[in-house]
Structure 1
Amino acid sequence: MQSKEKMSSSERQQLIINELKKSKEPITASKFAEKANVSRQVIVQDVSILKAKNEPVVATSQGYIYMGNQPEDNLVRKTIVVNHTPEQTLEELYIIVDHGVTVKDVSVDHPVYGDITASIRVSNRREVDLFYENLRGPNVAHLSSLTNGLHLHTLEADSMEKIEEVCWKLDEIGILVGTTN
């Protein structure tokens, strides 16, 4: 039985771009690694190189997406400021997605590094569950742990009313600090 040959760096990067452009769903580094017969870490490095070349590849909790695939939308966006414990994360995210709102990202204002933002892109309970499961892994900390629970989320929805309902509910449970736009 022949062993599968490894792809060159440029071949892998082209594979990543081509597959992401075709896909409507995120693709994990592990899936790319299997196709290219390399380690997951090699794929992570390839994606870093692609980002340095200004390719719009974004890492989400479900895998990589190609932002060039995103159609022009009529979504409204609002940034909210929240403060809660790690144990309240699941409740917070469920409230948001249960109102038909997507959590685009999370960011914190670190005293040394400044703004640190990570893509989340969760829109339903299944995606929230996958994201939350990853947060519970060994040696994984919530980004908000750098700021004692204070963090921001960019929310997206097809109406501002949905986002306002989320804000009202988050305020009701005592974790909404405010909004920025």
Structure 2
Amino acid sequence: MSGKQKLLGEERRKAILDLLRKEDKPIKGGQLAELTNVSRQVIVNDITLLKAKNEPIMATSQGYLYISHSAPAGAERIVACQHPPMRTEEELNLLVDHGLTVKDVTIEHSVYGDLTASIMVANRVEVANFIEKITSTGASYLSELTEGVHLHTLVGVNENQLDKAEEALKKAGFLIQTNE
């Protein structure tokens, strides 16, 4: 820690909320720790306490994000996909190349039920960072628990944009087809 004064308890959590509310992009836990002069683990605990008080904070691969209820209106869709882990980057790039944000991934686990993890990628740089974080930490993709079957929540400007991306997923063999 530096010579700065350490922010304590509620004052620190208020400062964290203020910082997150002002930003429209994620802030890394290490950056919040530096700004409040505490360890990253203290920030993790503070975020947990804030979430317990129903503050809409999302942990993403790029940092913490305050989910504003005044987000611009758009279209959102859940799609069902299946592919091996080595095609994850290809799938995510296909979606962001269509101008979409990939909000999350959900799997149906046989013991825990639905498991959802934030992804929040909207461009190729964010996809590359996400893939690098998975690779460098040795983490597994959730879809590895379900033979590659997973859902994505996609966010776009309008339904037409989502339709085009869904068609591209189908052509690339990612989309799970329903028998109609």
Q: Distance in 2 between matches of 1:175 and 1:102?
A: 17
Q: Distance in 1 between matches of 2:136 and 2:175?
A: 27
- Cα distance, 1:3 vs. partner? 2.9
**What is residue 84 of structure 1 aligned with on the other side?**
83
- Cα distance, 1:37 vs. partner? 2.1
Cα gap change, 1:9 to 1:178, in 2 (>3 Å): farther
Q: Distance in 1 between matches of 2:19 and 2:45?
A: 17
**SS, match of residue 47 in structure 2:** helix
Q: Distance in 2 between matches of 1:101 and 1:178?
A: 21
Structure 1 window deviating more from structure 2 (5-14 vs 90-99): it is 5-14
Q: Distance in 2 between matches of 1:18 and 1:100?
A: 29
How many aligned residue pairs are there? 177
Q: Distance in 2 between matches of 1:178 and 1:47?
A: 39
**What is residue 60 of structure 1 aligned with on the other side?**
60
1:158-173 mapped onto 2 (5 Å cutoff): 158-173=157-172
1:94-113 mapped onto 2 (5 Å cutoff): 94-113=93-112
Q: Distance in 1 between matches of 2:29 and 2:142?
A: 21
Q: Distance in 1 between matches of 2:71 and 2:6?
A: 37
Note the residue ranges of structure 1 that are not aligned, 5 or more in a row. none
User: Aligned partner of 1:96: which letter?
Assistant: L
Cα gap change, 1:23 to 1:72, in 2 (>3 Å): closer
Q: Distance in 1 between matches of 2:123 and 2:177?
A: 23
- Cα distance, 1:168 vs. partner? 1.3
1:113-152 mapped onto 2 (5 Å cutoff): 113-152=112-151
TM-score, normalization by structure 2: 0.92
Deviations 1:6-65 (A, max 9, x none): 221222211110001111221010101111222212111110110000011111111111
Deviations 1:126-172 (A, max 9, x none): 11111111111233111111212111001111121221111111111
User: Aligned partner of 1:55: which letter?
Assistant: E
Contact kept in structure 2, 1:80 and 1:178, CA below 8 Å: no
TM-score, normalization by structure 1: 0.91
Q: Distance in 2 between matches of 1:32 and 1:128?
A: 23
CA RMSD of aligned residues (A): 1.6
**SS, match of residue 131 in structure 1:** helix
